[in-house]
Amino acid sequence: MNQLAKHLGAHLSTTASTKDLDRVMELGADEAVDYTQQDFSDALSGFDVVVDYLGGKNLDKSLAVLTPGGLAISMVGPPDPSFAAQLGKPVLKPVMALVSRKVRAKAKKHGVRYAFLFVQGNGDQGLSQGRFCI
């Protein structure tokens, strides 16, 4: 994902442990925060898109580093109503809305958006240019 974001022209920030900092920079990160030494939400801000792979408190912090109107994409957070459409099961939309209501409310409070992303191997999902925190 990092190399794809860089290829699309994004400014890329990420987190890594001390031992992996050099590696993520070699892979194209513009900046890296050592999560064993510092909380990324204290070190980073102003992102258009954040991709969250951990969920929970990490997802809450991801919402806080976005610019107004920014987008937090979670690979592990609660599925949002649009996921029901992605599954081709519109009947599940109210269930997905209920499951994701807390995180969507937090996103709204921050003036940002939340989306759940279920990655499929069909090549139809993509990214546009912007500033990414992965």
Q: What is the pLDDT of residues 51-84, one digit of tens each?
A: 999 999 999 999 999 999 999 999 999 999 999 9
pLDDT exceeds 70 at position 122: no
Contact at 8 Å (CB) between 134 and 2?
yes
The CA distance from 67 to 29, in Å, is 20
pLDDT exceeds 90 at position 17: yes
pTM over the 0.85 mark: no
Selecting from 3.30.160.40, 3.40.50.620, 3.40.50.720, 2.30.110.10, what CATH number does the domain 2-133 have? 3.40.50.720
The CA distance from 82 to 31, in Å, is 32
The CA distance from 38 to 12, in Å, is 18
3-state secondary structure (DSSP) of residue 123: coil
Mean pLDDT (whole number) for 96-121:
92
pLDDT band at 105 (very low <50, low <70, confident <90, very high): very high
